[in-house]
Chain A
Amino acid sequence: NAGVTQTPKFRILKIGQSMTLQCTQDMNHNYMYWYRQDPGMGLKLIYYSVGAGITDKGEVPNGYNVSRSTTEDFPLRLELAAPSQTSVYFCASSPRETAYEQYFGPGTRLTVT
């Protein structure tokens, strides 16, 4: 199993540009999550999904959108990039039950200038 994979690893965007961060997991997990980690801070939840076709907002959803058309993929969309979105983005997944661990991808480092 590859686990949770994310692309790209690094990206620099200009203000106002848009992009999609890709996340794929091959563990057949129903739950998937997007977090952002700002320097020296803990991770904060952006969006999550409990299964294909179902998404919900986390703590910091503004400026982002998600979709979940398949169990494996959970892309995160930035429509109008702003400097405040400079961060490291982590995708995670977990099995159906909340008692289980979350498994994280390697992250995408995004800089908006």
Chain B
Amino acid sequence: KQEVTQIPAALSVPEGENLVLNCSFTDSAIYNLQWFRQDPGKGLTSLLLIQSSQREQTSGRLNASLDKSSGRSTLYIAASQPGDSATYLCAVRQQTGANNLFFGTGTRLTVIP
């Protein structure tokens, strides 16, 4: 069964810093990997989707990388802002039973002004 782990569970950084969030998964037979943002009491907002054949995706200040063979993905946030404070979740979609997303438990990010 796929297990998705996110480290650290919580992270506080001063405004302006670059930071990296980590996601690891146990089964490398994935179809794609998706990074989400979740604000307190709100739903999930999709940030980036990386297909299994891709190495990275970029959107604005966000860059997500994928190393399928080692079971790792990173989300890089450049020049962090207080508005980036949220919980970040990664989720993988398996190649078999591809309708299921396996979620990590998230990293709670606080950007201090």
CB of A42 within 8 A of CB of B99, answer no
Interface residue total, chain A, C-beta cutoff 8 A: 27
| B104 contacts A by Cβ under 8 Å | yes
Q: Which residues of B have CB within 8 Å of A102?
A: 34, 46, 101
Contact A45 B101 (CB under 8 A): yes
Does B79 sit within 8 A of A, measured CB to CB? no
Q: CA of A31 to CA of B99 in the docked complex: distance in angstroms?
A: 8
Closest to A42 in B: B103
Question: 0/1 per residue, B11-47, Cβ < 8 Å to A?
Answer: 0000000000000000000011010100001111110
- B: which residues have CB within 8 A of A? 4, 31-32, 34, 36, 41-46, 49, 51, 89, 91, 93, 98-106
Chain A residues engaging chain B, CB cutoff 8 angstroms: 4, 31, 33, 40-45, 48, 50, 56, 58-59, 90, 92, 98-107, 109
Interface pairs (7), CB distance under 8 Å: A44-B103, A58-B100, A98-B98, A101-B34, A101-B49, A104-B45, A107-B41
